[in-house]
Amino acid sequence: MEYPSDSQTRSILERYVLPRQVLDHSLEVSQNCVMIGSQLRDAGSDLDVELLRIGGLLHDIGRWKYCLEKGFSPDQDFHEYETGRLLEELGYPSFADMVRRHPLGGLTSQESSVLGYLGCVDLMPILLESKVICIADKIRPSVGIVSLADKIVDYHANTRLHKRYFSKMPGLLERTVDRVTAIWTELESLGMDLSAYSKKAGR
């Protein structure tokens, strides 16, 4: 799979400027991708850890558009779609399709259509690389989310997610918990170990 080099990634981030908090989150996700990818690779999975590192850095690059638009509401944030569109335009169609599949635990084309995404886009993570990025996006040591249980609590309590997603589609919260649980469990079976994060959090 062709993907941007380190220097090309820096150029993309310089061109499509992200707010500090989004860039910090992308750096955190990239670090999570490297850790999980390395663990899975060492346990026998055929993974390109550099691809995952770059994927983590660019997984939210589509947010630049919404951060520039005045009067923008978070309810209109379709940054996963915009990320895929932008990376396709830059010449990385397979990489774009892999990276964009990270909202919640994935969205079917029908769900994305109901939520307002353009083109009924399928955002279910299928490739192992997409699943790593999806889960790496959910681990937030900076705010104390370091386990599956933490993330499930966040899904139930996060008012932004409820407004943006769950209030618009009955049953999506439950499906999201099931999907994230399935992916998280699959990655653990392949060698993912987040115990270092839990120890840092004093658990």
Give the C-alpha separation, 96 to 84, whole Å.
5
Task: Check if the beta carbon of residue 87 is closer than 8 Å to that of residue 61.
Answer: yes
Domains (ranges, CATH) in the chain? Answer: 6-200 (1.10.3210)
| Residue pointed to by tokens 């026998």 | 44
What confidence score (pLDDT) does residue 201 get? 54
Is the pLDDT at 146 greater than 70, yes or no? yes
What confidence score (pLDDT) does residue 21 get? 87
- The amino acid sitting at 117 is Y
Is the pLDDT at 192 greater than 60, yes or no? yes
Residue with the bigger pLDDT between 105 and 146: it is: 105
Average pLDDT over the chain, rounded to whole?
90
What confidence score (pLDDT) does residue 195 get? 86
Give the C-alpha separation, 142 to 178, whole Å.
24
Is the pLDDT at 17 greater than 90, yes or no? no
Three-point CA angle 49, 203, 148, nearest 5°: 55
What is the average per-residue pLDDT within 11-30? 92
What confidence score (pLDDT) does residue 196 get? 77
Question: Which are the contacts of 20, defined by CB distance < 8 A and separation ≥ 6?
Answer: none
Confidence label for 199 from pLDDT (cuts 50, 70 and 90): low
Helices (H), the chain: 6-15, 20-42, 49-58, 63-68, 79-89, 93-99, 109-115, 128-136, 148-157, 159-164, 172-189, 195-200
**118 phi/psi in degrees, rounded to 5:** -75, 140
Name the token pair of 160: 């932004």
Is the pLDDT at 33 greater than 90, yes or no? yes
What is the average per-residue pLDDT within 14-42? 94
What is the average per-residue pLDDT within 84-91? 94
What is the average per-residue pLDDT within 132-157? 92
